Amino acid sequence: MCGFSSIMNNDIRASDYVLYYIPFSVRAIGSPYWIVSIKIAHPYKGSRFDCGSGVGVVRSEETVLLNQWNHVVLFRHRWDAWLQLNGARHAQGRSKGLFSRITFREPVFIGGAGNTTNVAGKLPIQEGFRGCIRHLEINDHIYNFGLEPGGEAVKGFGIEECTADRCSRVPCQHGGKCLTGPDSAVCLCPLGFSGDLCEIRVDLQVPAFNGSSHLRYRGLGEEALTWLDLEITLKPNSPDGLVVYNGHRGDGYGDFMALYLADGYVEFAYNLGTGVAILTSRYRISLGEWHKVRISRTGRLAMLFVDNQPWTETTAPGAFTQLSLPQNLFLGGVANFGGVSTQVRIRTSFVGCVQAVRINGRQVSILAEALGGANVDNCPHPCVAKPCGEDGECVPEMDYFTCRCKPGYRDQACARGPPSFNGVNSYLYFNDARTLDSLMADPITLNVRFKSGSSDGLLLWLNNGLGGGFLSVGLERGNLVLRFSNREEEVVVVHNNTSVHDNLWHRVKAVRDGGTGLLIVDNGPAITHQAVAVWRRPRPSPPDEEGLFVGGMPHDALLRTSYRAGIRGCVADVVVNADYHLRLVGDRDRNVHECDS
């Protein structure tokens, strides 16, 4: 008798239900041609057949898609057989010996071997299949899984209704793939789309990863044979997650390098073929903040640098010194952890943002060079608002950015020169609906790039029209000061660590969060203040109009504030809440000129 089986090895994880076995009374004869649609939770697929004189094995090169529907086609003719998984390249195999005919005297079993005779010892597994099967076709016959007389199944054991086909109620758009969990179905969106159904087109600027995301690139190949210098700027939102992975083989064996977070520590693991070496940062890194990580490896020696922490180093075991990485490189996670070395102890993907990657001294175009990806969205960053216009590239720098402009453009926004203010009745005014909606938020974050040669002057004034509520940023005796009203009191934050009236460009981040204020200048330390000052002078009574004044305000209104003049200088950027960039051409402007540089 010649036996024929479709198998998976026994490292099985729970799926939606267990289909143990169904013996069918219908017998398959001749040269079988199988078409199977299955949903499984294990990475490898293969088939074995024996015509009485030796076992033939066919094994797919690709891994199955975990918790997704997979399509398997299997064909045998005499000694030869081929297997195709999900439309990929055919895998071929051949049985041993002289016999080539097939004779089936047992029923067809699905999901398990049942009490089939002469099988023990011929299969590399002992457990039944865990998962769902929704279509089985053998030699043009489509099997009905129902019990007789309505169906073809003689009997069954341990079978439940499959709940995995929730995807029929989740119509993923734009090529999105549906994934099911214990209680729900979600869409895995291709690069450039987001939303519950992948219905939102996303103009990606700074990628954000949500734990089910990844970007895929050409592998390093021989670029990392002897030395590797990897730099990455990232902002994590979870203490665990795989950030970068590149391996030698698709099954996780052999050489690899991996950068990941483990319990808040940064770790780098690599294997040159004779054992794994692991580097760990001295301290945990903070969540929700930008960090710079650098890996430097030469031969067996590797060093890890994280921000300003003391660096760490290690040496790989054994005598091998080269690192071969022909497989794809993954950023932010992987498509399938079955292809990740088991020596990488983190089995979850990164959650957070990545804004810069440099490999061996070359800046990687994170989005332009990606071969593919899934579930990647935009990080809340000023670059999302395209502050550099259509003629410039926004280059993120931690919480801020610079513009890389085409030749002939002068200002930071790759347009005409930024506005210049002379201090007296010189201002821009914004009161359009979109600006007002952005400015009325709480908390609110304002990012400003400016330069001034005067030690005093109003930079920004926001009037929210709610009982005289206001927010202002300005220079007072050379110090940068944030003021805002909180009920019947005034919150004052004074930043005196950095001189900002030196006629040089500076970046300022001002935050109001309830009764707390914060100021950051040029990526320096944050100055915060939660104490509230009771009004000791007449309360400001600025203009009645809601809106934002930049550079100053009308002179008669200015005299009712803490200031007597606007700034003498230029303002290049005003970004609200990281995603709304003001075009510095107001609805009303007065005495505004073009900045010289």
* Local structure of residue 147 (DSSP, 8 states): B
Beta bridge partners of residue 302, listed in sequence order = 297, 314
pLDDT of residue 455: 92
The region, left, alpha or beta by phi > 0 then psi within -120 to 50, assigned to residue 191 is: beta
The domains found in the chain, sorted by start residue, are 3-142 (2.60.120.200), 167-201 (2.10.25.10), 207-378 (2.60.120.200), 419-594 (2.60.120.200)
Burial environment of residue 434 by CB neighbours within 10 A (0 to 12, 13 to 18, 19 or more) = exposed
On whether the CB atoms of residues 83 and 72 are closer than 8 A, the answer is: yes
Phi and psi at residue 169, to the nearest 5°: -100, 5
Structure tokens at 401: 């950015």
Place of tokens 């219908």: 26
pLDDT in tens, 21-49: 344 433 333 344 555 555 444 444 555 55
Is the backbone peptide bond immediately before 443 cis, with ω within 30 degrees of 0?
yes
pLDDT at res. 94:
72
Q: What is the pLDDT of residue 275?
A: 94
Predicted TM-score (pTM) of the model is: 0.53
Res 595: pLDDT: 84
Alpha-carbon span 421 to 411, nearest angstrom: 16
12 Cβ contact list (under 8 Å, min separation 6): 41, 42, 127, 129, 130
Listed in sequence order, the residues at least 6 apart from 296 whose beta carbon sits closer than 8 Å to its beta carbon are 228, 229, 302, 303, 305
Find all residues with CB under 8 Å of 365, minimum gap 6, and list them. none
Give the number of other Cβ atoms within 10 Å of residue 369's Cβ.
11
Q: Which residues of the chain have pLDDT under 70?
A: 1-56, 66-67, 77, 79, 95-106, 113-126, 161-166, 181-183, 391, 406-416, 464-468, 487, 530-544, 585-588, 597
Give the pLDDT score at 82: 72
**Greatest alpha-carbon span in the chain:** 105
Name the E strands within 202-350: 207-217, 227-236, 241-247, 256-262, 265-271, 276-280, 291-298, 301-306, 312-315, 329-331
Q: Which residues is 420 bridged to in the sheet? A: 570, 593
Q: CA dist 230 to 348, 364, 538, Å? A: 21, 11, 57
pLDDT digits (tens, 9 = 90+) for 127-172: 777 777 877 888 778 888 777 777 888 777 777 766 556 677 778 8
Residues 199-218 pLDDT 10s: 989 889 999 999 999 999 99
SS3 557: helix
Q: Residue 142: which residues within 8 A CB-CB, separation 6 or more?
A: 135, 136
